[in-house]
Structures are given as C-alpha cells and as structure tokens.
Amino acid sequence: MAMLRSFLLLFIVFSMGNAEVNLVKKCPYGWTNFGVRCYKFFSQAVNWITAEKNCQSLDANLASVHSKIEHDFLLSLLPSSSTRCWFGTHDGEQEGQWLWTDGTPYDYTYWAPGQPDNKGEPITENCGELNFENKGWNDGSCLSPQGYICAKYL
C-alpha cells in the first residue's frame, strides 16, 4: 500500500511537471511572442530569398499576416516608423497568385493603395514588402536588399 502511494505521488509529481513545461513555453531570447508564434526583426539588408532562407535556418519563415492586429504588431517590431522590410508573401510562382512561405491560408491582405502593381522593367515585382510609405504592403523587386521579419511557432 505504501509503495502504491509512492507510485501515485510520483505520477502526480511528473504530471504536474509536464503541465508546467507546457505552460512556460516561451519564445527564444530576442524573439517576441504574439499568439502562437514568435517574431523577430533582422536589420541585415538582404534580398527576399536570402531573407526567407535565413529565417528557415532558424526553424522559421518570413512572417505571414492574418489580421490587422497582427499587421500592427509587426510594425511595432520595426526600429522606426519609416522602416520597410521583407515579409512572407510572394507571387513568384504565378503572377498575381500571392502565397505565404509558411503555407498558411492567404486570408488577409493590407496592400498600400495602388499595390500590388508588379511594376519595374525588366524585373517585375513578386516579393512582399511591409510598411511601404507607411501605407501598407507593396510588391517589391525580390532582389533589393532590405531587413526582414521571421516568425516561428512556439
């Protein structure tokens, strides 16, 4: 009986331990939590595909956006109100078909007025840029160097 009680006690202690681990799931140092994901702005200016690859090397993707609240949260990570940066949308597969690199549904947009315009010759614009003229998203030339925001799940 005493042994059974010890086992029971051990079981309870271990269960509580696990529950605690789940509760204290935190973002890595330097990343900011929002909802179920962690976000970080990187100031190193690189082209869009390098930005996505850099995110992937950190077990992340360029950030996707699914609501105005999330969009405003991303802006709050930028060092200044005029900073523009790469995030996770592109229409490089098929013109006008915008996707998120993290594979989440394309259920929200916040394009700046007149964007996306796929402008620029001979290079067209296929990569998502955040905070264009403080007005919203822009499709920019994927080759231009910019900072970027990565996102990963908790």
By CB under 5 A, name the binding residues for Ca ion. Answer: 91, 115, 117-118, 125-126, 138-139
Closest CA relative to residue 94, chosen from 64, 51, 114, 124: 124
Q: Which is nearer to Ca ion, 76 or 118 (CB)?
A: 118
Q: Which is nearer to Ca ion, 32 or 83 (CB)?
A: 83
- Nearest approach in angstroms of CB 141 to Ca ion is 8
Residues in a beta bridge with 38: 33, 152
- Nearest approach in angstroms of CB 105 to Ca ion is 20
- Nearest approach in angstroms of CB 21 to Ca ion is 44
Which residue has tokens 């296929």? 126
Which tokens go with 124? Answer: 């067209």
Q: Which is nearer to Ca ion, 35 or 92 (CB)?
A: 92
- Nearest approach in angstroms of CB 35 to Ca ion is 28
Q: Which is nearer to Ca ion, 20 or 93 (CB)?
A: 93
Contacts of 73 (CB under 8 A, 6+ apart): 34, 39
Q: Which residues of 3-31 are buried (b: 16+ CB within 10 A; e: fewer)?
A: eeeeeeeeeeeeeeeeeeeeeeeeeeeeb
